[in-house]
Amino acid sequence: MAYVITSSCIKDELCVDVCPTDCIHPKKDEPEFEAATQLYVDPQGCIDCGACVPVCTSDSIKPVEDLTEDQEEFVASNAGFFCK
């Protein structure tokens, strides 16, 4: 996994629109969207292109290697969303 989305995500889907591999979910048209507190990056689909980072207005998307200690939990929560 190259990037994760953290809890400051505002679910505006700007990152979804630019992702070339469609690895950011849930989208507004998916049943999980309303209940989700944030969007998540699929670790199997992320190709480390970084297209999502500059469009994120809430600065929620971080490279895994740049996470602070208190943000490391988002590696598991992002991956966990896709392991249902």
User: The domain spanning residue 31 has which CATH number?
Assistant: 3.30.70.20
Whole-angstrom distance, CA of residue 27 vs CA of residue 38:
10
Burial 9-18 (b: 16+ CB within 10 A, else e): bebebbbbeb
Q: What is the pTM of this model?
A: 0.94
pLDDT score of 1: 62
Reading the chain (84 residues) residue by residue, the pLDDT tens digits are: 699 999 999 999 999 999 999 999 999 999 999 999 999 999 999 999 999 999 999 999 999 999 999 999 999 999 999 996
**Tokens 């992702």 belong to residue:** 19
| Number of structural domains in the chain | 1
Question: Would you say 21 and 46 are in contact if contact means Cβ atoms under 8 Å apart?
Answer: yes
Q: Find the domain containing 38 and state its range.
A: 3-81
